[in-house]
Chains A and B, each alone.
Chain A
């Protein structure tokens, strides 16, 4: 039997936490890129394009993330792709994040007065220029608080990838707990590590919200 000292546990958990951070970043960046594409569809003028984007968002917001991860994990190999837990986790979280981010930013675009579009058009800008120069910068600015809030949700969601076998913080803690039988200590430390990652972001989001409210 292997003896784990307190510091062994902490060290192993922190090493595993690197993967949690990396996965969160990958999913956030990937989700932002895909989410931007979904946003373009969602605010398009064509009714059908809009409807497809709404359906995409409703699908991801109306089903459990765990199911989405399972479908990635078991579905992609059917398309002939060899898939590791890391790929399934990163892709699954990317699509999950894209739906939420697109919807958050869409609310920002909707919140802008019509006059912003009209002013852009009267300056002779075409649709994409209007979006890039006038609409999106403002939409991003007013939705910064919910975007940061969603990042917190995304970090917490990485815990679910332990279930499809990705070696991040929670999966490592399960293994340690099985060896040490100290669930309070192990899961308490895991909760603490997540808290240290998420709490500053929560506070930041709250400050952004307050500043937006004061304006």
Chain B
């Protein structure tokens, strides 16, 4: 075989890889916060909202879940400018990721809401709490505790999926890998190193979420 692996380029590439990883982390952080918030609204709306809203949320969930994220990304990034909305690539990526993740987490949060016994909200109402307080203070924390593991997996999946936003030139980890391999002509080694960085990120993210969840939501979160 006339090919030998060469990692000599790595020392000079650490800066680019770190910058890319930082952008990937930023993307997933924004997506997690916005997506979870949106899915709480969506799940509550799908249960208690007016009929047309329930229908609209149902259609939204099905459309997002049955089409590829890459197509959604292109639709938003290339489509919106023809409506006169010009989005920065990174904003388009955040928007697409949030909308995509919300479709999955609406179902997850909804399952959590259904798992909280009715007696909990009835008891809270009987104590004189207003309906909004009942939802935010009584039902939601219990629901989040139930669904936390599923939510964690979804966040990790979304982080891995974020690799494709390199296709609209967001300068995240995969984009930096593309640039590096074009410069070093060491495609396999570059993608190998970056793949390992992703593996580390996904394991670290999972550990962080599980640890953080225990602290915030209390014991019993796995």
Q: Which residues of A contact B (CB under 8 A)?
A: 59, 62-68, 70-71, 74-75, 78-80, 152, 156-160, 162-163, 170, 173-174, 177, 181-184, 187-188, 190-191, 194-195, 198-199, 202
Contacts and interface: CB of A to CB of B under 8 A. Distances in A.
Contacts of A79: 1
Contact of A63 (B67, B167, B202): B202
A68 B195 contact: yes
Contact of B67 (A80, A160, A191): A191
B82 A202 contact: no
B160 A64 contact: yes
A99 B164 CA distance: 21
Given A67-B198, A68-B195, A159-B71, A202 B78 contact: no
Main secondary structure of the interface of A (DSSP, over half): helix
Contacts of A59: 199
Interface stretch (B7-15, B31-39, B184-192): B184-192
Given A64-B163, A187-B79, A156 B174 contact: no
A67 B75 contact: no
A163 to B, nearest CB: 6
A71 B192 contact: yes
Nearest to A174: B74
Contact of B161 (A64, A80, A152): A64
Contact of B66 (A159, A190, A198): A198
Interface string B39-71: 000000000000000000000001101111111
Given A78-B3, A190-B71, A63 B198 contact: yes
Contact of A163 (B62, B71, B167, B194): B167
23 contacts: A62-B199, A63-B199, A67-B174, A67-B194, A67-B198, A71-B188, A71-B195, A74-B181, A74-B187, A78-B1, A157-B68, A158-B68, A160-B164, A162-B70, A170-B74, A173-B71, A174-B74, A183-B75, A184-B75, A184-B79, A187-B75, A194-B66, A195-B67
Given A71-B188, A183-B75, 19 more contacts: A62-B160, A64-B162, A65-B163, A66-B166, A71-B191, A71-B195, A78-B1, A78-B188, A158-B68, A160-B68, A162-B70, A184-B75, A187-B71, A187-B78, A191-B67, A194-B66, A195-B63, A198-B66, A199-B62
A202 B202 contact: no
B72 interface: yes
B203 interface: yes
Contacts, number: 115
Interface of B: 1, 3, 62-63, 65-72, 74-75, 78-79, 82, 156, 160-164, 166-167, 174, 177, 181, 187-188, 191-192, 194-195, 198-199, 202-203
Contacts of B68: 156-160, 170, 194
A5 to B, nearest CB: 19
Contacts of B191: 67, 70-71, 74
Contact of A188 (B62, B75, B161, B198): B75
B66 A202 contact: yes
B156 to A, nearest CB: 8
B27 to A, nearest CB: 13
A163 B164 contact: yes
B63 A62 contact: no
A178 B190 CA distance: 30
Nearest to B70: A159
Contacts of B192: 71, 75
Contacts of B188: 71, 74-75, 78
Contacts of A64: 160-164, 174, 195, 198
